[in-house]
Each structure stands twice: as structure tokens, then as C-alpha cells.
Amino acid sequence: MELDEYQRQANRTDQRPGQSAEALVFPLMGLASEVGSLVNQYKKRVRDGEAHELFGSKAAIELGDILWYIANLSEKLGYTLQEVADHNLRRINERWPVEEAESPALLLDDDFPESEQLPREVSIRFEEEITDEGRVCVSIASGDISLGNPLTDMTWDEDDYRFHDAFHLTYAALLGWSPIIRSFFGRQRQSDPRYREVEDSGRAKVIEEAIAALVFEYAKDEHFLEGVDAIDFSVLEMVVGIASRYEVRIRTTRDWERAILRSFEIWRELRSKRKGIVILNLRHHTIDFVGVNEGRPALGN
């Protein structure tokens, strides 16, 4: 039976039709009740083991009731079961691709002049130093060119956020997107005023900084993601939502997960060594940390 046909037949037995508050609360309460019943059946299975011979058939009944309430609630919210299922599969396939897939080969600025593209290959040197006021800060440079301003942690309690440009560099390398790094290198897309206004201006940079701050606060409670190979889906969805108005919207939750995890690997190396060289290759979607004495001069673009 097709999903939509099941939904049509199931809703013939709806005793609370309509879209009023009362009509909507009926399937919501039903879902909560039936999920509780399913958990109760499993509790009996854990307690009684194989003696609970009816677990399979009881579970099937509870699952059927859950499906009825899902079909009913979907109907009242204006969705078909097929639409709900299709949307869910799209989210699953973005988060867990059937096969490991590379990020799209096309970089976001491939169609622009080379002088307006993010550098395709570059090395960045991180150095920790003391300001005249006695504050610890981090400066970054490419060759003899300083990038941005020296950064402190910008908080009352030191947490090494001053190394967070590693996040922006990783977004550039793995996602092909970073208004911050584009600004550092003066690669705004002047040939297209609209792109320059929307994608390469202040608001886009604020969005990127917001993402960096968001994932940093999340990572604080997860040992800065050391030994972690997956990020809460709710966090990934929030990141994708924040960035959804910009060109990076073509990147999936899985792309973002890889970028965030890799950015913290680079950040942890910098925090441990207190300095170092980070090498990006946008064509290969890679970013690597090397010790200061192992680095090489800044590459071309």
C-alpha cells in the first residue's frame, strides 16, 4: 500500500476532524501515549527476556498505532505522508550519505577572476605574542603580509578563542566559503556589485563569526570535540539555518560536520603548540597543521 493511500484510509476513522487546537492535541497526545506503550513492551522484554514471547507482535501493534497518529497529525498540518517521508529521507541523505562523497568540485567563486577568488593554495603562520598592555594575543600572516588584527580571547576568562581564525581557514578550505578570509586577502568580488554587497560584506562576515562563536560554545562542553566523531544534529541544523541566505547554502549538514570537526583538530594543535603554520589547498579540500620549523614559504594562489 502506498503511504498516501494508507493516510487516506486511516483518516476515515478520525474522531476529531478539523484543525482546531482540540483536533491537533488529539494525535499529539496519542503519539505520546503509544510511544510510552511501546517502551513499556520493551521494558517487559528486558525484564522477562525470551519469556516475553509476544514482544514482536505487541510491538507491531504499537508501531501501527504510532503510524496512525503520524498520518492523522500530518493530515491536520497539511502534509501528506509521502511528503513527510521524502523530507525525512532528504535530511538523512544529507547527514549520512549512502556513499562517502566529496564536496562539490565547483568552488563558489570559480566563475570570478582569479584576483577575486579565495587563494587556492596558501600557508598561514600563527604566532602568540604579548601586547603592550600585557595581554596575550595571536597574530596571523601569510608570508610577510599580516592578516586581520591581533586577537585576544575577548572574554573575562581565557579560553584560547584567540586561535579561532583556524575555523575561518577551515571553512575556506573545506566549504570554499569564508567572507572573513576573503576580506583578509582583499578578494571581494568587485566585478559583481551585488555579490560584493551580499556575499562579501559586513553582514556575511557577522554570520560567519556567529557560526564560529556558536560551535565554540558547543565544543566547550564536549572537550573541544577531542575524540568526538559526530556533532549533535540540532547544532548542525542551526548552523545550516544561519548560513542559509548565503552561497554556502549548497553545503550539507555532513559538509559542515566535517568542516567543524576538522577546524577543531587544527585549533587544538595550535592551542597545544601555541604557534604553527596551517596550509590550505582549496582544490583538494584540505587543511593541515605543521610545526613552525616544518612549514614552507607562503604559496601562491
Q: In what order do the strands lie in the sheet with 145-151?
A: 145-151, 136-142, 121-130, 275-281, 286-290
CATH topology of domain 3-95: Helix Hairpins (1.10.287)
Beta-sheet pairing, 286-290 with 145-151:
unpaired
Rounded to two decimals, the pTM is 0.78
Do residues 249 and 243 lie in contact, with contact meaning Cβ atoms separated by under 8 Å?
yes
- Give me the residue spans of the domains in the chain: 3-95, 114-294
Chain centroid, CA 160 distance in Å? 22
Mean pLDDT of the chain, nearest integer: 90
Q: How do residues 216-261 score in pLDDT, each as one tens digit?
A: 999 999 999 999 999 999 999 999 999 999 999 999 999 999 999 9
Q: How do residues 14-70 score in pLDDT, each as one tens digit?
A: 988 998 988 999 999 999 999 999 888 888 778 877 766 666 788 889 999 999 999
Q: How do residues 108-126 score in pLDDT, each as one tens digit?
A: 999 999 999 999 999 999 9
Cα–Cα nearest to 182, from 265, 282, 269: 282
The gap between the terminal CA atoms of the chain, to the nearest Å, is 57
